[in-house]
Amino acid sequence: MTEPSPASSPEPTGAPADLPPTVFLMYGASGDLGRRLVLPAFFQLALQGLLPERWALIGSGRGDMTDASFRDHVHDALVEFGPHPDEGPWDEFARHLRFAGGGFTAEDAGEVPDVLTQVRADLGEDAQLVHYLAIPPKAFLPTTRAIDAHDLVQGCRIVYEKPYGTSLASFTELDDAVQEVFTEEQVYRIDHFLAFEAVQDVLHARLATPWLAALWSREHVAQVQIDIAETLDVAQRAEFYDATGAFLDMIVTHLFQIAATVAMDAPADLRPETVQAARDAAVQRFRPLDPAEVVLGRFDGYLDIDGVPADSTTDTLAAVRLWVDDDRWRDVPFLLRSGKKMAADEQRITLVLRPAVDGPYAGDPPADPAVISFSLLDGAALDIGVTLRAPGVQGGAVTGTATLQRTDLPGEPALPYTHLIHHVLHGDRSLFTGVDGLRAAWEAVQPLAADRPAVQDYAPGSWGPADVDRLAEPGVWFLR
């Protein structure tokens, strides 16, 4: 299976001077998502000189926040979550920030029209408008209709946070409404794990490294394992989490998209539409899940958390054996696992390599098989396991690991949301989920709607219920 060579740059390259004046209209700007992730990304773009020369960020919310108090809110968010405002030109950045209170509905647009008119008077009537929906999913539909009702659709771009639907039915309802208002080219659906630099490494290392490309198939890979594990509980998000759970929050969103990044056919080039189409096509080859190959868990003590109903059946861990029906990955299990209160904080993509099939080591696989493993955490690394001769007179075989730290590479890393906003500015949808792939993802999990596995208890600080180990047989989990 020969991999084609990439034919274009993997990143948008236009200079800020080439970008049109841009107005970001951020719904939910005072919320938790904005504070932790979105606003810090805007400031990092400013620090790196990647925003347009003329731009404005209008925060929209129900409160009566003034421009000055919104600027204080952004300043506080940067102090808490970084980059710290003292690291850059805070005063210059702050003058681009405005706030439009009074909410935003189809019946009442609040202060948005007046503030938008004022900003456009400064930037020009032809300023590009980007709607950013950093709001709860239940508000996506009414906000979409409000944007249409107030004639703010023409020429705009719109960014939807995840989850884009919570079932096949809700996805269909939402996307039908979105497609009625916007063209597909206007829509950017976020799955921010796609913007992790280490996840992007999976594609680019494969395309640019011939020996790695040669290993990228069932001929050499026995299993693909994707783990997103946290030691934290859900005490600060109990109400949200109990309505969602690990499977909906992580598996059908983030881990499916990471699996598709591994499983996708190598794109002929790195144009955004080519990359997105290749990833969507991979999801469309996911076999519908077999409920017998899904394990749901709940850590001991979850029901004692304030805000969690005593009769809750929510899962705090989900593990899945997924199959990709194509010639490259036929019969190779993709093992996906994510949970709370687990043994370690780990985010890792691991290709477990097959043992030797001929020669003196055939039929005698090492206890720790060779792997190619991408860590996604801060200071991410690429680990390559190699079987070597054991030191000493007795010899034998031992598996060692060679590690490449991303922190040793030149360049300044960027936050996932910094990548995403930068790509929106340039009209690059390669790091965003496509509608065909999302529909296929919800279709793949549809069997669980009628046959959801019972939730099994597990001890905090473990790797989940014992039944999780069954999914990896005859192999074992790399993280164990």
User: Does the annotation place 341 within a ligand binding site?
Assistant: no
User: Does the annotation place 162 within a ligand binding site?
Assistant: yes
Phi, psi for residue 188 in degrees, rounded to 5: -125, 110
Distance from C-alpha of 249 to C-alpha of 399, rounded to nearest angstrom: 35
Q: With contact defined as beta carbons under 8 Å apart, do 315 and 467 qualify? A: no
Distance from C-alpha of 43 to C-alpha of 83, rounded to nearest angstrom: 7
- Report cis status (omega within 30 of 0) of the bond before 83: yes
Q: With contact defined as beta carbons under 8 Å apart, do 420 and 195 qualify? A: yes
Chain Cα centroid distance, residue 160 = 13
Q: With contact defined as beta carbons under 8 Å apart, do 316 and 299 qualify? A: yes
User: Does the annotation place 73 within a ligand binding site?
Assistant: no
User: Does the annotation place 280 within a ligand binding site?
Assistant: no
User: Does the annotation place 249 within a ligand binding site?
Assistant: yes
Is residue 207 within a helix (H) or strand (E), and if so which, with residue range?
helix 197-208
Selecting among 73, 131, 254, 422, the annotated active-site residue is 254
Distance from C-alpha of 88 to C-alpha of 104, rounded to nearest angstrom: 32
Torsional sign, CA 235, 239, 244, 245: positive
Strands across the sheet containing 187-189? 97-100, 55-60, 22-27, 128-133, 157-160, 187-189
Q: How many CB atoms lie within 10 A of CB 5?
A: 12
Could you give the 3-state DSSP secondary structure of residue 159?
strand
* Adjacent-strand bridge partners of 455: 296
Is 254 among the residues known to form the active site?
yes
Chain Cα centroid distance, residue 303 = 28
User: Does the annotation place 92 within a ligand binding site?
Assistant: no
For residue 376, give Cα distances in angstroms to 139, 243, 383, 405: 31, 27, 11, 11
311, amino acid identity: D
**Residue numbering of the annotated binding site for NADP(+):** 62, 162
**Residue numbering of the annotated binding site for substrate:** 192, 230, 249, 340
**Residue numbering of the annotated binding site:** 62, 162, 192, 230, 249, 340
Catalytic residues: 254
